Chains A and B, each alone.
Chain A
């Protein structure tokens, strides 16, 4: 699956120990990598958050999912792009640990922890379009959207499904940072994708 160009990745931390959270936050903040940090009380908050912003990585204490394995599996299914990293400071059964993409121990060196998060992220972002340029197909979609065509009409014009139009639309918004139709129209005019008489 192709990923949008994002300079900043969002990390969610679900960890009852505030001290641990603050420590992780401060250490990763000072690293050379660019992440935004969010503190969640439980993984139920992911759904609410994800409707506004994407989450790349969730750092979570395995103790929080131990008795809620079904719910955890459901969330994992719902958001297949999220990477789950376990924060380990006590013994957990291997059957739990293998549910995570990776784990680290809180006594690991901070540089090792950061490298782990970062390499996991990068592995998953190989397809990202670093320049933020719209692809040819996205430009086609924007051409019609900016002219005021509906998703359905755009799909018919380009002979693709509405679902595909929606995906392109979402990518266009992510790449340009512009979400309103009026704003997208200005973008399209300024880039010569459409002209206004």
Chain B
């Protein structure tokens, strides 16, 4: 017998069991700034200890287990701050950990593989990384300060020229090029290198792709509707 589906996360389940079932949840905990030594805590206890909105945690953690939130679950989230902190944390994780890791493996591959094809891939990666940095910087510098000011109901600093709608428009698809990179490696370009290094590179790429996918679902399906709700309430 084997289990094919991961659990649907609810407040009374033990975090330890959930981690044993799906260790990707470790990354979810890290983005929430929750320590991995979860002892015997239930999801609810862990959220109380770490002062995190339970409903927000459940919606996001369930994405890691493959469950897409329904409107009801999203509407129950009455505080967007943990979501904003979560997204900001993931940004620094991408910039400070994930992309340098990819760069490191590319460097290692470069040591044994010097063809023109590879130089092109490296160039592609560097250009792409620039784009990602630019996008994340936009969110950190412009979008998030606006969302935080909304949350504080701080009318003075709220810029009139910015809104969730604008955020939605600006929200570029950084996943496309990541998929391209993966396909270039897996389908098209033969690169001589140690299999260990290549696998580690691809592992990191898949891990990043998974997290970015969740990241954009949180932004588009959870955060933006909640922001629009706050905007509407404040405009009434």
Contacts and interface: CB of A to CB of B under 8 A. Distances in A.
A183 interface: yes
A185 B188 CA distance: 12
A178 B117 contact: no
A187 B188 contact: yes
Interface string B11-38: 0000000000000000000000000000
A179 B179 contact: yes
A190 B127 contact: no
B225 to A, nearest CB: 15
Interface string A172-189: 000011111011011101
Contacts of B176: 179-180
Given A176-B188, A178-B184, A191-B188, A183 B117 contact: no
Interface residues of B: mostly helix, strand, loop or mixed? helix
B124 A186 contact: yes
A188 B189 CA distance: 11
A1 interface: no
A180 B177 contact: yes
A189 B120 CA distance: 9
Contact of B187 (A26, A176, A180, A182): A176
Contacts of A107: none
Contact of A182 (B4, B124, B179): B124
A155 B121 CA distance: 28
A19 interface: no
A186 to B, nearest CB: 5
B183 A186 contact: no
Contacts of B127: 182
Interface string B122-159: 00100110000000000000000000000000000000
Interface string B164-201: 00000000000011011101100111000000000000
Contacts of A176: 183, 187-188
A184 to B, nearest CB: 8
A187 B182 CA distance: 12
B183 A189 contact: no
A183 B124 CA distance: 7
B115 to A, nearest CB: 9
A186 B120 contact: yes
Contacts of B121: 186
Nearest to B180: A183
Contacts of B189: 186, 190
Contacts of B187: 176-177
B72 to A, nearest CB: 13
A177 B120 CA distance: 18
Contacts of B184: 178, 183, 186-187, 190
B73 to A, nearest CB: 15
28 contacts: A26-B4, A177-B187, A178-B180, A178-B183, A178-B184, A178-B188, A179-B176, A179-B179, A180-B176, A182-B124, A182-B127, A183-B124, A183-B177, A183-B181, A183-B184, A186-B121, A186-B124, A186-B184, A186-B189, A187-B184, A187-B188, A189-B116, A189-B117, A190-B120, A190-B184, A190-B188, A191-B188, A196-B120
Interface of B: 4, 116-117, 120-121, 124, 127-128, 176-177, 179-181, 183-184, 187-189
